[in-house]
Amino acid sequence: MGRGKVTLKRIENKINRQVTFSKRRSGLLKKAHEISVLCKADVALIIFSTKGKLSEFSTDVSMERILERYERCSYSETQLTATDHESHGSWTLENAKLKSRMEVLQTTQRHIMGKDLDSLSFKDLQNLEQQLDTGLKHIRLRRNQLMLESISVLQKKDKALKNENNVLSKKIKEVEKEAVQQPLVEQDDCHNMSSFHFDTYIRLVSLDKMDGLVEDSPRQAQPSIVLPPWMLQHMNH
């Protein structure tokens, strides 16, 4: 059968208590030495008996250096813990301030919207009205500024469109002028050609009559000369 659970309590018999102390102290010192060798750890062990007798163990490093190292680590942990407490307290205070400020802002917003006004006094209502008037003035000023800027932009666009329209009108007039001048040039060419053909025809007729006079021989009656329509039109002009 296995061993039952042993309840730890103070040994009342002094002799048995001293014997147990000596055994357990030797075993504890042995274990401290083993852990320092096996794990290469710095170990310091201090034991005081009931009569005040000191028993100690330390590794190759002296007891004083181990105790100094312990004090430094203990002090650092204490400072870190204190800093954590201070930081936590600071964050708690800051959180409370922000929460209070948010509540004030929410209350002010409700007042501006015309809600929860029963708690305000006559003076508070006057101050609220003055704040609203000041805010409206700033809003209207900004609105008028935006309107003037929009009007200025539209005027610039209108001016640019007018300039573009003028340029297009000039180009259209130039094209129409060229279109009008082109038929006149063609008509002048036709007039010159008509005059040339008419003069040539008259000369041919004159030469034919002169040949008849020189030869002085009777000729058969020539048919009447019929002018082309384009010559008649030229002669009428």
For the chain, which residues make up each domain, given as ranges?
11-61, 62-116, 120-176
Q: What's the confidence (pLDDT) of residue 174?
A: 86
Query: What share of the chain has pLDDT > 70, as a percent?
Result: 68
> For residue 47, how many other CB atoms are within 10 A of its CB?
14
From the CA atom positions of the chain, what is the Rg in Å?
64
Identify the CA nearest to 67 among candidates 78, 53, 56. 56
Angle between helices 122-215 and 63-112 (to 10 degrees): 70
Q: What's the confidence (pLDDT) of residue 24?
A: 92
Task: State the Cα–Cα distance between residues 120 and 91, nearest whole angstrom.
Answer: 33
Q: What's the confidence (pLDDT) of residue 217?
A: 44
Residue 199 reports pLDDT greater than 70: no
Over range 35-51, report the average pLDDT: 88
Contact in structure between 45 and 58 (CB atoms under 8 Å): yes
Domain 11-61 class? Answer: alpha beta
Name the pTM for this structure. Answer: 0.34
